[in-house]
Amino acid sequence: MSDNKKIIVTIDGIEHEAQQGQMLIELTDQTGTYVPRFCYHEKLSIAANCRMCLVEVENSNNALPACATPVIDGMVVKTKSKSAKTAQESTMEFLLINHPLDCPICDQGGECELQDLAYTYGKNQSRFDIQKQTKKNDDLGPLVSTDMTRCIMCTRCVRFGTEIAGIQELGTIGRGEDSNISTYVSQTVDHELSGNIIDLCPVGALNNKPYRYTDRTWELDQVESISPHDCIGTNIMVHKKDDIIRRIVPKNNPDINEAWIADRDRFGFDGIYSEDRVSNALIKSDKDFDESKLSNAIDQVVEHIRSCENENRSIAVLFSPSSSTEEQYLLSDLCHQLGITAIDSRLRQGEFINDLDRRFTPHMNITLSEVDTMKNTLVIGSDLRKETPILAHRVKKSADSGALIHSINAHSSEYHFKIDQDLSTDNWVNNIGLVLKAAINLTKNHLPNNIADHLDLLDEPTAEHEKVAASMCQDNSLIILGLNAYSNHKYQLIRSYVHILASVCKTNLCELSEGSNTIGASIHHTINDGAENIQNTSEILQSKHDLLIMYGFEPNDTIYKNELIECMKSANSLVVFTPYMNEHFQQYADIVIPINTHYESDGSMINLELRNQTFNHNQIVSSDQFSNVEVLMSLYQGMDMQSKSIDEINESIQKGIEIIMNSSERISLIPKVTQAKPIAESAIEFNMYNIDNVLRRSKPLQQTKEGIGKE
Amino acid sequence: MKIIQLIKKLTLIDFIKGFIVTLKAFFRRKVTVQYPEVKTPLSPRFRGKLALMRYDNGEERCIACKLCSAVCPAQAITIESEERTDGSRRTVKFDIDAFKCIYCGFCEEACPVDSIVETNIFEYHMTENQQRIQTKEMLLATGDQYRDQTIENKKKDSRYR
């Protein structure tokens, strides 16, 4: 396979250069010759069971399947000759024997591969007049609908289960004509990527359940976008009709998400049509809210800020790490100009040390596609599959090609790949220290006294720790620091261990961050490096404020829910910028200003590999709503302040990204123990369908096992 | 030439020719009728007011495939659909804008279940602008009202399809 010798293959009379070991269908796809196919998919293994891609090859007695025929030097292939065409037409006739003619009610109608190819290769009249087969429909849960009679047994969904998801949820049972796709024992598909079988299915057998029977494909408009639910920056296509989002499908981006998206990216949008959306600005008088004009509410906020400013009282701002970089920048810059130092967006970080946090922004120093090529990966404090399903898939890919994956976490998490060393115990933070110690022993590095003294206090590393350390010290190794560690009250210690381990072993480092745009939120700090003494979330929550401003999140989004509610209670006035109303806002907020959710705004987001991606949902939102940036700009106007223009902001963002990208420095000291309180296990627990306000309100996701299992 | 013209003028020949045409028409069979007391016969293929049909058991035929709205050149048809509680695909909204409709009959051709049909009703009116929207209920009612007549017409025409 690795032989890179170029060979010549003739396709339909034109000579093409091909690579040894390539399959014929890959070459025809490259050269733009279309060969019909159902079971072949470039991201899946080759099954060659649909037989639709039969082509004529010279010197071969019968037609050969292009997807399973390797190219040979001097091969002469005819894809449109009479014999190829006859073979393809015959295959199509067999496929259509049992396929129902219910295209008018099938959601796949209009984007169906079978329907498209039937126009070219199908016969007008069926010659089959014996009774057609029907099959039993399995209930696959709230996300995927089934019409198994339509199945043509291409087994793409089965191969997806074994090869991509790593858990075989669907399988083939029965033989020949009686074969059937089924879950073996009756159960739902619960994998975090399982929605992708909807796109994979070439016919309408597996379909989008919430979208079922609502629209036809030709009615939908398509808008490119970025998913806001994790730090990966998954590329998506939003399909909308009449200014309402109908469904979301993946956008193929080989550098980020390939052809896959997580279920929460696909079904999460349902939350924006929740009934508790705030449509008008609300101002509290006595105990009830009065609806008011947005401009009035903004004026009131300005008044609040002014009065606090004049009397030198404290103002604190907390904002969502998932809002766009522009919003975050405007908000940070407003505070900067007003001299407000209490501003933060880190709602799930367990321990703060301002100096370290500001100098080292969590990000990854390689690209996502390079994760595939890693040979040794250590996953620390992470339920990787839940936190970042796409990254977990990348790690799985590397594991499939022989990489060793180790895990250190508070609890053993379920993985869809083999874990070589699992050091998950209650004392897991210690285990990281021991791995570091073992690595230092192994590399004989000289360390600053601070670290050496600290490590001397630990036990001696065992053979397991040494194994992990040895594996990390090899080339192409990667450490992933997950969100479980991020939310731990010993986060700073863990982070220092990891940074030192990464510099000792010269491994790559990937630090996951909360929300979709934590890096964007840190840009303003990065540019105005150390200009002021900024307070962090923990400090903000501990003190009493005269004015607390919350932007774009709700108490359930943080791990400090109780502390935040206390803080909201104690604040003299509480201003909330939120798309949704909830009981806490109802009770404590003084002014509520409606803002748009991600799917209704435009801007940019920076993913964990520092890729700046823009999205524009202006085509989705109806024009009478103010955009989030406009709302913030009106705050500037009210305060008689000059905001930066979008171009200037973009320039600053670019500058900030470059600063982060160019700093290859890593933490090289063990921090002093802070007095951070341990955070309740239930608060840290990462429920992947309960991490932001949109997902929490998505009906289909809340009906899944993960959704029901939430506290 | 002048002499011929002079003779024509004097004998009033052209005048008489004209009268002869009138006289012929006077005795010919009449093509006009006293509408609305008398009506002309209609072809079974006549394309009039739109209607939605039902099956014999009273179940509506329409399955919300939206092919009629896709094929409609005037974009007069608006459909919204969802899954009914029994799991079948049905419309929740089926509106035809009677002002937009050009009675081309494409919708009838496109319908895979013979649900939308054109009856031979051409004399109907509305007094207010909003009434131009024919809702699903109105269309089904029209279908029920002219059911027998429509079925008979479609049967007569089926030989030529």
For residue A400, the domain's CATH number is: 3.40.228.10
Which residue of A147, A213, A242, A243 is the best one to mutate when testing the B interface, meaning the one whose CB has the most B CBs within 10 A?
Answer: A213
Domain shared by A388 and A497, yes or no: yes
Residue in A with minimal Cα distance to B81? A214
CB pairs under 8 A between A and B: 25
Q: Average of pLDDT values for A386-414?
A: 91
Q: Which of residues 113-152 of B touch A (CB under 8 A)?
A: 113
Question: What average pLDDT does the structure give for chain A?
Answer: 89
**B50-158, CATH topology level:** Alpha-Beta Plaits (3.30.70)
Asked if residue A631 is part of any domain, the answer here is yes
Q: Report chain A residues whose CB lies below 8 A from the CB of B66.
A: 216, 219
Residue A243 near chain B (CB below 8 Å): no
Q: Residue A46: is its pLDDT beyond 60?
A: yes
CA–CA gap between residue A258 and residue A250 (Å, rounded): 9
Q: Report chain B residues whose CB lies below 8 A from the CB of A214.
A: 80-82
Asked if residue A588 is part of any domain, the answer here is yes
Q: Per residue in A678-700, pLDDT tens?
A: 887 777 788 889 889 999 999 99
Domain shared by A508 and A427, yes or no: yes
CB contact under 8 A, A104 and B113: yes
Residue A139 near chain B (CB below 8 Å): no
CA–CA gap between residue A305 and residue A641 (Å, rounded): 13
Q: Which of residues 65-84 of B touch A (CB under 8 A)?
A: 65-67, 70, 80-83
Cα atoms found within 13 Å of the Cα of residue A486, Cβ hemisphere only:
28
More confident residue, A312 or A324: A324
Residue A214 near chain B (CB below 8 Å): yes
pLDDT at residue A622, as a whole number: 64
The radius of gyration computed from the CA coordinates of chain B, to the nearest angstrom, equals: 25
Q: Report chain A residues whose CB lies below 8 A from the CB of B67.
A: 104
Asked if residue A91 is part of any domain, the answer here is yes
Residues contacting residue A410 through CB under 8 Å, at least 6 positions apart: A381, A424, A426, A428, A484, A488
Which residue of B61, B67, B68 is the best one to mutate when testing the A interface, meaning the one whose CB has the most A CBs within 10 A?
Answer: B67
By Cβ distance, the residue of A109, A213, A216 closest to B83 is A213
Q: Average of pLDDT values for B111-124?
A: 93
Residue in B with minimal Cα distance to A107? B65
Domain boundaries, chain B: 50-158
CB contact under 8 A, A105 and B89: yes
CA–CA gap between residue A442 and residue A85 (Å, rounded): 64
Q: Per residue in A137-187, pLDDT tens?
A: 888 999 999 999 999 999 999 999 999 998 888 999 988 888 889 888 878
Domain shared by A635 and A577, yes or no: yes
pLDDT at residue A3, as a whole number: 54
Which residue of B69, B72, B81 is the best one to mutate when testing the A interface, meaning the one whose CB has the most A CBs within 10 A?
Answer: B81
Residue A216 near chain B (CB below 8 Å): yes
Q: What is the DSSP letter of A225?
A: E
CB contact under 8 A, A216 and B112: no
pLDDT at residue A591, as a whole number: 94
Query: Residue B155 corresponds to which tokens in the numbers above?
Result: 């049967």
CA–CA min distance B73, chain A (Å): 15
Q: Exposed, middle or buried, A649 (CB in 10 Å: 0-12/13-18/19+)? A: buried
CA–CA min distance A279, chain B (Å): 25
Q: Is A566:A540 a contact under the CB 8 Å cutoff? A: no
Q: What is the DSSP letter of A68?
A: G
CB contact under 8 A, A216 and B66: yes
Q: Report chain B residues whose CB lies below 8 A from the CB of A211.
A: none
pLDDT at residue A508, as a whole number: 93
The helices-and-strands tally (H runs, E runs) of chain B is 6, 5
For residue A300, the domain's CATH number is: 3.40.50.740
Residues contacting residue A612 through CB under 8 Å, at least 6 positions apart: A325, A604, A605, A606, A653, A654, A657
pLDDT at residue A711, as a whole number: 40
Q: Report chain A residues whose CB lies below 8 A from the CB of B63.
A: 104-105
CB contact under 8 A, B70 and A216: yes
Asked if residue A170 is part of any domain, the answer here is no
The ipTM value here is 0.83
CA–CA gap between residue A508 and residue B34 (Å, rounded): 94
Q: Residue A710: is its pLDDT beyond 60?
A: no
pLDDT at residue A530, as a whole number: 54
Question: What are the CA-CA distances from residue A668 to residues A360, A383, A498, A504 (Å)?
Answer: 11, 26, 10, 10
pLDDT at residue A4, as a whole number: 66
pLDDT at residue A52, as a whole number: 93
In total, how many domains does chain A have? 3
Confidence category of residue A532, pLDDT binned at 50, 70, 90 = low
Q: Report chain B residues whose CB lies below 8 A from the CB of A219.
A: 66
By Cβ distance, the residue of A109, A214, A218 closest to B81 is A214
In sign, the C-alpha dihedral spanning B65, B68, B73, B78 is: negative
By Cβ distance, the residue of B63, B80, B82 closest to A104 is B63
By Cβ distance, the residue of B82, B112, B113 closest to A213 is B82
- For A567, phi then psi, to 5°, come to -65, -40
Domain shared by A608 and A505, yes or no: no
Residues facing A451 on adjacent strands: none
CA–CA gap between residue A289 and residue A550 (Å, rounded): 18
Q: Is A409:A381 a contact under the CB 8 Å cutoff? A: yes
CB contact under 8 A, A213 and B81: yes
Q: Is residue A254 reached through a cis peptide bond, with omega within 30 degrees of 0 on the bond before it?
A: no
Asked if residue A133 is part of any domain, the answer here is no
Residue A212 near chain B (CB below 8 Å): yes
How many degrees, rounded to 5, is the angle at CA A293 between CA A288 and CA A294?
Answer: 105
Residue in A with minimal Cα distance to B113? A104
Domain shared by A373 and A502, yes or no: yes
pLDDT at residue B89, as a whole number: 93
Domain shared by A338 and A422, yes or no: no
Which residue of B61, B72, B83 is the best one to mutate when testing the A interface, meaning the one whose CB has the most A CBs within 10 A?
Answer: B83
pTM of the model: 0.90
Q: Per residue in A328-369, pLDDT tens?
A: 999 998 988 888 888 899 999 988 888 788 888 899 999 999
Residues contacting residue A481 through CB under 8 Å, at least 6 positions apart: A362, A380, A381, A382, A494, A495, A498, A509, A510, A511, A512
CB contact under 8 A, A212 and B83: yes
Q: Residue A380: is its pLDDT beyond 60?
A: yes
Domain of residue A593, residue span: 281-351+517-662
Domain boundary among A97, A131, A150: A97
Closest by CA to A137, choosing from A100, A87, A168, is: A100
pLDDT at residue A1, as a whole number: 45
Question: What are the CA-CA distances from residue A425 to residues A290, A379, A381, A387, A684 (Å)?
Answer: 53, 14, 11, 20, 17
CB contact under 8 A, A109 and B65: yes
Q: Residue A621: is its pLDDT beyond 70?
A: no
pLDDT at residue A567, as a whole number: 93
CA–CA min distance A178, chain B (Å): 25
Q: Is A516:A231 a contact under the CB 8 Å cutoff? A: yes
